[in-house]
Structure 1
């Protein structure tokens, strides 16, 4: 890769994108643990993989270089000392302390696997049955004998946007809100530190996964070279946004953050589930986040005198976008055409979660036919992908992708 991290917009032609093809972690789901895993349903793996392959092929056919997380991570863990350090941290964050006999049991089991198989096993989870046949005398080491896993599966990994996100020439390696997903950002941390294509490139980490406060990539929108939009949401705190502003302002091209407050609930967990940029002056929006006057709570963060962050309240979304993006007109395209039933249904199925692959060109789920038809009526080129199983995880094409390189506008 000539460019390693280069994302200065939401809509510049996508050149390189990071994905994860769902694997056995979905088969390790059961109804009893769905709440613990932060997932609503159990996708059928065979069809989910076919749908994901169709998504990846849609991108590849448009000249986009697709890289897979599992390949990058495996290449980052070739060195055994690095692998041991990584596993030690992973087990620690899984609640398995270094002085626990189970720690050494799992360490030995995972280190015995070929590296790529080890990566797959970590994401899939480690069931007690997979080890107890080898060393049955240690089967009672887990705290809860009835729980089927020594190491929990990671069924949300295929939503690649949240664990990390590119801003400019750097990344945020995110501290995830809930414990079930927090280990996931270890993967990109290891890639940046140890992968031969990344480790010596001095890629800025604007905010790391150890910093207090929650931040997730679904709330991070790169509007242009100077302005970000970040959701104050169920998964991203106002304190984390302020901290990110201190890291970016004066150290990057970014000098403005539009912090947009959205409802804190599971249906609207991130900003990109209700608002995305799809062209220079066009945006998707779930209409129910706005009041009748088209208003919503917005806080504009900028660098003030003496290095202080100034915070200016705004309320009108269209006026705020016009002002800070220097646009004369804004086209807000409502999910489901604004119909009370269609908008709620298609927002639940990620009708607002569009992935722009070029200005005015997006990838969407085929199931959101009302929103897709409306996008086309507004002049947007829409590539629909299959979505019966992938959508069960509550995330759309933008959620499933982490752009690493985009062309400048």
Structure 2
């Protein structure tokens, strides 16, 4: 197999990354749909795009190849008419339209677009006012009520490319996401991996999206070629972690023999592990102190292969620093607290992703400029910081790591 993915750490020199430039889908959020679409506010698209372009250029300037998922899926659908028709059918079926006038009307409408415009429409959503579809029976509405404005909802979270999938070694997880608003995103990944010439047949899938248990890429951190850290969070279940660990341990293409599961508070402010904890160097991590109990403890579990092929050994610890030292064979560790651990600054900057940093090389990161207290602290700890613009992108509650999916890192 010619590898198309190579991610054996969080900190190896970043060579190729996957992004999505926010588009019309962001402007299709309304105050009434913010909660369902997982937003606290509505970003101003023009500024959000300028900020995202600045982010992408920052990565290019440091030697990273930038790929866009919207471009990859367009190239994928152009490989054959059957692939595009199959994607259209799957996309509509997953939205509840499997047959009838609504299915036929939507399929005909989507297939009237060029591939580029088709993809833009998938992200932006299809409003009911765009097309007239006669409904034979109520069930043809796929559960939509009369007040709903869309046949197909927009995908405004898609600029957080970290979550629908996770690069892990030479393979990927293609994720069953928690909320309906995001579940269509990983179908795009599935089609790219199965049909795009750059990836088809070259990427082992450790876990596909056809599960009932949830997992998202923001909870999946690659600490070394042998160790994965995964958050037990609002978006990732302990059952998913155990299922993935078992596959990693028994699959001969996997190099991973240890999973470090970290239990974090289950809430929107700390939705993924990488919103409160990221690796930035061989022995340096950012951390939000709010994840710890009053005595400094946190439930941490080390998963390793059991005696039988289908068994997992689980060890419970309450000291995150001790657990990290053990699984990474470190004697010293530098945990850098978001906002310096201040009771006001830390939660404010964590809310704006002060702990969500993207390492582009050991000790070199990209992060939002607005978290200036954390940035100064990182610099004092010897970290090289590239600051990116953040007034509108941050409204989506995700930082530089959330907005990026590494596809290739140099090995350490």
TM range (shorter): over 0.9
Cα distance in 1, alignment partners of residues 206 and 44 from structure 2: 37
Give the structure 1 partner of residue 338 of structure 2: 335
Which of residues 394, 400, 403 is equivalent to 1:400?
A: 403
Residue 197 of structure 1 deviates from its aligned partner by 1.2
Distance 2:100 2:152 in 1: 14
Instruction: Count the aligned residue pairs.
Output: 404
- 1:325 counterpart residue number: 328
Name the structure 1 match of 2:86: 85
TM-score by length of 1: 0.96
Counterpart of 2:200 in structure 1 is 199
Corresponding position: 1:39 with 2:39: yes
- Spell out, residue by residue over 1:42-80, the C-alpha distance to the aligned partner (whole angstroms, 9 max, x if none): 000000000000000000001100000001001111111
Q: Distance in 1 between matches of 2:199 and 2:344?
A: 46
Deviation at 1:250, TM superposition (A): 3.0
Contact 2:301 2:314 in 1 (8 A): yes
Q: Kindly indicate whether residue 115 of structure 2 is the aligned counterpart of residue 103 of structure 1.
A: no
Aligned counterparts, 1:382-397, within 5 A: 382-397=385-400
Distance across 2 between alignment mates of 1:358 and 1:100: 52
Question: What residue in structure 1 maps to residue 272 of structure 2?
Answer: 270
Residue 185 (1) aligns with residue 200 (2): no
Mapping of residues 10-409 of structure 1, within 5 Å: 10-78=10-78, 79-96=80-97, 98-132=98-132, 142=141, 143-201=144-202, 203-251=203-251, 252-307=254-309, 308-409=311-412
| Secondary structure of residue in 2 paired with 1:67 | strand
Report the 3-state secondary structure (helix = DSSP H, G, I; strand = E; otherwise coil) of the residue aligned with 1:283: strand
- Taking only aligned residues, the RMSD between alpha carbons, in angstroms, comes to 1.5
Compute the displacement of 1:163 (Å).
0.2
Residue number in structure 2 paired with 1:7: 7
Q: Select between 26-35 and 44-53 the one with higher mean Cα deviation.
A: 26-35
What is the TM-score normalised by the length of structure 2?
0.96
Shift of 1:293: 4.3
Gaps in structure 2 of 5+ consecutive residues: none
- In 1, the alpha carbon distance for the partners of 2:65 and 2:319 equals 38
d(CA) in 1 for partners of 2:96, 2:370: 39
User: Is the contact between residue 102 and residue 134 of structure 2 (CA under 8 Å) also seen in structure 1?
Assistant: no
Query: Contact between 1:127 and 1:150, CA under 8 Å: does it hold in 2?
Result: yes
Do 1:3 and 1:405's aligned partners in 2 also have CA atoms closer than 8 Å? no
CA contact (8 A) 2:245 2:259 kept: yes
Call closer, same or farther: CA 1:327–1:107 in 2, change over 3 Å. Answer: same
Most deviating of 284-293 and 61-70: 284-293
How far apart in 2 are the matches of 1:93 and 1:14? 34
> Which runs of 5 or more structure 1 residues have no equivalent in the other structure?
none
Superposed displacement of residue 137, structure 1: 8.5
